[in-house]
A and B are shown apart, each in its own frame.
Chain A
Amino acid sequence: MEKTTSVLMAGVGGQGIILASDILSEVMLDAGYDVKKSEIHGMAQRGGSVSSHIRFGKKVYSPTIPKGSADFLICFEKLELLRWLDYCNEDTRVIVNDLELNPPMVNLGEAEYPRELFEETIKKFKNLTLVPASKTALDMGNIRAANVVMIGIFSKYFDVEEKLWLDKILGKLPEKLHDLNRKAFTEGRKLG
C-alpha cells in the first residue's frame, strides 16, 4: 500500500475509543505497515469529546490526519460526527454507532440535540453506515462491549485476517471478559 490510510475515530470519553484505536493500530503494525496514532488526553475527559487519529501505510509522516483526507470516520456516537466533517471528503467511508448521548447543555435544557442536522448530514455521504453497536452490546447484556462490537464492524473493511483482530482484543482484556468480547467481536463482524 503506497498511499497512507487515515482513520479518524470519534466519540465520548468512557466509550472505549482509545482501546479500539490501540487495537486497530497494533493490528496494522503486525500486518506489516508503518503506523502512527495520535490523540489528546489529560484534563478531565470523562464525558468529554474524544478523538483518535490512526494512520498506516508504507511510510507515515504526520501522526495527525490532514483535513479533508480521512479515509474512514468511525463515530461511536451520532452527534460527534458533526464535529469532524472537515476531515472528510466525498469518498470517506463513515461508520456511525446509532447512539445518542446528551452533551451537558442538552441535559441542562439549554440546547437541543441536533437530530435534524444529523439526518441531513448523513444523506450527503455516499459511503455511510449507521450501525447498532450499542444496541447489540446491550442485547448481549453488557453495554461496555459496544466498542468491541464496533471493532468487529470496522474490521471487515480492512484486509486482515479475523484471528489477528481477535487475538489482539483478547490479549488486552482479563480472561473473565474473553467470552463476552469474543461474542461482541463476532456479532460486530456480522454487522460489518
Chain B
Amino acid sequence: MKKLLSGNEAIARGAYEAGATFASAYPGTPSTEILETVAKEYPEIYAEWSPNEKVAMEVAMGAAFTGARAMVAMKHVGVNVAADPLMTLSYTGICGGLVVVTADDPQLYSSQNEQDNRNYAKFAKIPMLEPSDSQEAKDFVVRAFEISEQFDTPVMVRSVTRISHARTPVELKERMKPPLEVKIRKDPPKYVMLPVYGRKRHVVVEERFKKLKEFAETFDLNKMEINDTEIGIITSGISYQYAKEVFPNASYLKLGMIWPFPEKMIKDFRSKVKKLYVIEELDPFIEENLKIMGVQVDLGKDTLPICGELTPTIIKEKVAGIPEEPFLANPENIPPRPPNMCPGCPHRGMFYTIKKLKLYATGDIGCYTLGALPPLTSLDTCVCMGASIGHSMGMSKALGDEGRGKFVAVIGDSTFMHSGMTGLADVVYNKSYATVIIADNRITAMTGAQDHPATGYTIRGEATHAVDFEELGKALGFKHIVKANPYDLETYEKILKEETERDEPSLIINQGPCALLRRALPKAKKPFYVDVDKCIGCKRCIGLGCPAITWNAEEGTNADGKKRKGYAVIEPTLCNGCALCYQLCNVDAIKTEDKVFYGLVENL
C-alpha cells in the first residue's frame, strides 16, 4: 500500500529501511522534520539533536566507524558548519554506511542565503544522490547507504524545500539488517589524519573517485528516457519534475547521482538528440561540468535564472517560449501578512527597549531576527549562527571607547549553544567591553520547538541535564552577569543601559520562555482589554507591533472629552496577558481582570 509522505518523512523512512541505528541533526528549515520523524516513528534508531551540525556530523562519524549505519541531516548552511569534518571524512572514509542529508532552500523561504550544495560533492570528492520526489527520497537513502559501504565513502543526499516539504506517494518496505558487525575497529593509518597518513589517504580518495565515475556509467538511478529526439534535456531532482511538466515528450537524461558524472552516458545521450538543454535550479552545476567535458549545450543558464526557485512557469516562458498571459494579474499593494513575533513573545520587550535606547544590535538567527522588521526595527546584523557576538566584539575593538553604551549583541539560547560559546570566550579573553544578551526562551523556537542542551530535555522528551548559562558565563570569565525579565520594561531598560555602558564585558540572560512553549506555561493568563472610554489614541501600545493589538480609526473623543484619532482594541483570543502594553499606557486604559505581573510566568 502506498502512503503519502513528505520528502523529510521519506528520508527518515529510508534510514529505517536501510537498517540505520544512528541519526543526528541540528534543526533547520527545510530539514527539521527528518530527525523529528526518526525520533517519533522509529524507536529502533538512536536519535539526537546535536548542539550544531559539526557535532552532528562528528557523532555520526563515530557511529559509522564502528560499523553502524548512520545518517546526519541538516539544512544547506548547516553543511558549512559541518564542512570541517566532512572534508576530511572524505579521506578517512567510513566503515558502516554514512549518509549526509543536505536540504537546500532555493528562494530562501527560511534561510539567509540560497547556496547550491551540489558544489560540496565536487569539493569533497564524494558522491551525491538527488531524489525528485518522496519515493525516490526514501529509495535513494537506502541506495546511498549501499554505495557508502561499497566505496568506503560518505554519500550526500540532496533535498530542496520542494522535495522536503512536498507530500507524494511512497511504497513502504521492511527494515533490513545492516551487513556489518558493530565493534571497535583499530586502524590508525585510515582514521588518524596525521600528514603522513593523510597524504596516502588523498591518493585513495582520487582512486575511489575514478571508480565512482565508472560506477556512475551503469548506475540504474541515472536514467535515459529516449522519446522525441529534437530536444534532449539533462536534469536532476525537482527540476526533472518541472521540466517533465512542460516537456512531457522530450528525451531525458535524469541524473539520480548528480556527482560524479557518467561521462560516457552523457556523450551517448548527446549523440542521440539534436539539441541539448540543461534544466537545473540555482548554479549552472551540470552545465559547467558538461562544458569541461566538451559537451555542447544549446540552452542553460543563458536562458534560465541562477537566482531563486525554478518553476514550471519559468520553464514554460523562458525555454518553451510560451509567454505568461494571465487571465487576471495580481493587483499590487495588497497588504502583506509578514511573519511576526507572537503575542506574548519574550523578545518583544527586549527589542522595544533596544529601540528606546537607540542601541545598534548585532543579531543572530532565530525568531528574534524578526526584530529587524517594523515597527520595532531594532536589529542591525544577521549573517550566520553565532555571529552576533563576534560582530559586537569586533565593533568594540574598532570603535574603542567611543562605542560604549551604543551597541549590544542579541543571540537566542539554541543559537548560543550552537555557536555562541567560542565567541563569548573571545569577548573576555581579548578584553572587550561588549554586552551580550542571551535571549533565552528555552527552546529552538523558529523551527517549531526543538530541544537543545540547555532545555533539559532530549529529542524524545527524556529529562536530562540543562546547561546553566550563568555558571557558563562565570567559567568563561564574565564578572557581570544579570538575569533579566524582558517583560519588565522599566527594570530591563535600567539593566541594559547599565550593562552596555560598562568598560568590562557583560552578559544579560533573558528569563522568559517562548509564548508557545506549553510545558513552561503552567497557567493561562487572562487577556488584557482596552477601556475605550479612557483610551486617548496615542498609539504607544500599537508601537509594540503585537498581533493582538489593533487600531480602530474612528475619530472622536474619549469619555473625558479628549480628542482622539481612534482607539486601540485588544483581541481577547490572541492576547495572553504579557502586560507589555499595560506598562506603556499613560492613561490606565489597558486593564485586566487577572492579577497583574510582567510576563507569562510569575516570579521570573
Binding site for B on A (CB under 8 A): 12-13, 22, 25-26, 29, 34-49, 60-64, 66-68, 79, 82-86, 88-90, 92, 102-109, 111, 113-114, 117, 121, 124
If over half of B's interface residues share one DSSP class (helix, strand or loop), that class is named, otherwise mixed; here it is: loop
Known: A42-B110, A85-B331. 17 other contacts (CB 8 A): A25-B167, A35-B169, A36-B168, A37-B166, A38-B167, A42-B448, A43-B29, A48-B338, A63-B241, A66-B245, A66-B311, A68-B324, A85-B328, A90-B327, A103-B337, A104-B340, A104-B547
Q: Which of B233-250 contact A (CB under 8 A)?
A: 238, 241-242, 244-246, 248
CB-based contact A117/B339 at 8 Å: no
**Quick one: which of A42, A43, A85, A90 has the most chain B CB within 10 A?**
A42
Specify which chain B residues have a CB less than 8 angstroms from the CB of A117 in the assembled complex. Answer: 331
Cβ of B329 under 8 Å from chain A: yes
Chain B neighbourhood of A47, CB < 8 A? 337, 340, 547
Most A C-beta atoms less than 10 A away, residue of B248, B316, B337, B553: B337
- With A29-B169, A61-B244, A63-B162: A68-B326 Cβ-Cβ less than 8 Å: yes
Nearest CB of B to A59, in Å: 9
A13→B337 CA distance, assembly (Å): 10
Residues of B within 8 A of A79 (CB): 334-335
A103→B334 CA distance, assembly (Å): 9
B278 beta carbon closer than 8 Å to chain A: no
Which B439-488 residues have C-beta < 8 A from chain A?
A: 446-448
A43 touches B166 (CB 8 A): no
Cβ-defined partner of B339 (8 Å) among A26, A45, A63, A102: A45
A36 CA to B169 CA, complexed, in Å = 8
Docked pose: A40 CA to B105 CA in angstroms: 11
B143 within 8 A of A: no
How extensive is the interface on chain B, given as a class? 35 or more
Assess A43 versus B335: contact at CB under 8 Å? Given A61-B244, A85-B330.
Answer: no
Measured in the bound complex, the distance between the Cα atoms of B327 and A37 in whole Å is: 24
Tell me if A103 and B326 are in contact (CB < 8 A): no
Contact (Cβ within 8 A) A43 B339: yes
1/0 per residue, CB under 8 A from A, across B153-192: the answer is: 0000000011001111100000000000000000000000
B291 within 8 A of A: no
Q: Are A66 and B29 in contact, with the CB atoms below 8 A?
A: no
Asked whether B550 is an interface residue with its Cβ less than 8 Å from the other chain, the reply is yes
Q: Are B336 and A103 in contact (CB under 8 A)?
A: yes
Task: Encode contact with A along B279-299: 1 for CB under 8 Å, 0 otherwise.
Answer: 000000000000000000000
- Which residue of A26, A46, A64, A114 contacts B342 across the interface (Cβ within 8 Å)? A46
Chain A, Cβ-Cβ closest to B2: A29
| B133 interface contact, C-beta 8 A | yes
Q: How far is the CA of A117 from the CA of B334 in the complex (A)?
A: 10
- Residue B367 CB within 8 A of the other chain: yes
Residue pair B242, A62 in contact (C-beta under 8 Å): yes
Whether A44 touches B312, Cβ cut-off 8 Å, given contacts A89-B327, A109-B566, is: no
B62, chain A: closest CB distance, angstroms = 30
Taking a contact as CB atoms under 8 Å apart, the answer to whether A86 and B336 are in contact is no
Q: Closest residue of chain B to A4, judged by CB?
A: B245
C-alpha gap A25/B551 in the complex (Å): 39
Flag if A84 contacts B330 (CB, 8 Å).
yes
Do A111 and B551 touch across chains, with their CB atoms under 8 A apart? Answer: no
**10 A-B pairs with the lowest CB-CB distances in the bound complex, closest first:** A42-B29, A42-B110, A107-B550, A63-B166, A85-B328, A103-B335, A38-B166, A66-B312, A109-B551, A62-B245
* Chain B nearest Cβ from A34, distance in angstroms: 7
Residues of chain B within 8 A of A29, CB atoms compared: 2, 4, 169
Per the bound structure, the CA–CA distance linking A82 and B331 in Å amounts to 7
Closest to A12 in B: B337
